[in-house]
């Protein structure tokens, strides 16, 4: 029987989670929450500059997203407490907005009817982080977990091998990251990090990362 999944935040990660789930018979996405109009959500799912067209059918009918003939509930709630996951029997919620990264805020999904929550970014509190091939064997049934970050998923498996074979006392990491949605295509203001406002097409931009801390936690 398929595990029923809800997705909160249908951005880059949310859509990739959906595509991966659609390719499996043991996962069924039953609800998506995002502030964008449902017609635009359908368009973003159907066409992707990196992965190409969605392999199945994507339609909008009566306010729902219909994928491969199955209707998926669409909501546009800012507060996860209002999502009523129980109504669509969502067992696991993928929290991919990037905003609700603590136990307190992510737990609103459980209060709304979900059983488990997976954060798509590093947690900002003591919520445990897991990386496949590194520490998933220590999962003890926690109802809220984090899948860490993309950089952490790249570095942690390598660090694990080095640590298991030789041991690690201290480490220094450098990562060359692909362009992200928060960067600018042409120079513009960036209040948090001035260099971060430089156009991504012409520059390699030094930046900080939380991956080193996350790898240590994992």
Contacts for 37 with CB less than 8 Å, ≥ 6 apart: none
Query: What is the rounded distance in angstroms from the CA atom of residue 158 to the CA atom of residue 82?
Result: 41
Closest CA to 100 of 80, 75, 83: 80
Query: What is the rounded distance in angstroms from the CA atom of residue 70 to the CA atom of residue 47?
Result: 19
Catalytic (active site) residue 132: no
Burial class (CB in 10 A: 0-12, 13-18, 19+), 7: buried
Q: Of the residues 150, 154, 200, 205, which is catalytic?
A: 150
Find tokens 């947690």 and name the residue.
123
Find tokens 């900002």 and name the residue.
124
Closest CA to 98 of 173, 182, 40: 182
Burial 116-135 (b: 16+ CB within 10 A, else e): bbbbbbbbeeebbbbbeebb
Task: Characterize the bridge pairing of strands 3-8 and 70-75.
Answer: unpaired
Mind telling me the catalytic residues?
A: 150
């Amino acid at each position: 029987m398929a595990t029923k999944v809800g997705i909160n935040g249908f951005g880059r990660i949310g859509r990739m989670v959906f595509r991966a789930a659609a390719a499996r018979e043991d996962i069924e996405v039953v609800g998506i929450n995002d502030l964008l109009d449902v017609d635009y959500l359908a368009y973003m799912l159907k066409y992707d500059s990196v992965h190409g067209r969605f392999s199945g059918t994507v339609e909008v009918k009566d306010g729902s997203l219909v994928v491969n003939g199955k209707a998926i509930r669409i909501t546009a709630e800012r507060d996860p407490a209002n999502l009523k996951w129980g109504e669509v029997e969502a067992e696991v919620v993928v929290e991919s907005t990037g905003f609700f990264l603590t136990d307190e805020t992510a737990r609103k999904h459980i209060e709304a009817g979900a059983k488990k929550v997976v954060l798509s970014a590093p947690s900002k509190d003591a919520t445990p982080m897991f990386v496949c091939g590194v520490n998933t064997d220590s999962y003890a049934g926690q109802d809220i977990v984090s899948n860490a970050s993309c950089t952490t998923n790249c570095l942690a498996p390598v660090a694990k091998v080095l640590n298991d074979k030789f041991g690690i006392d201290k480490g220094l990491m450098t990562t060359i990251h692909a362009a992200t949605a928060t960067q600018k295509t042409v120079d513009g203001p960036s209040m948090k990090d001035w260099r971060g406002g430089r156009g991504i097409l012409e520059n390699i931009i030094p930046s900080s990362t939380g991956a080193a801390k996350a790898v240590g936690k994992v």
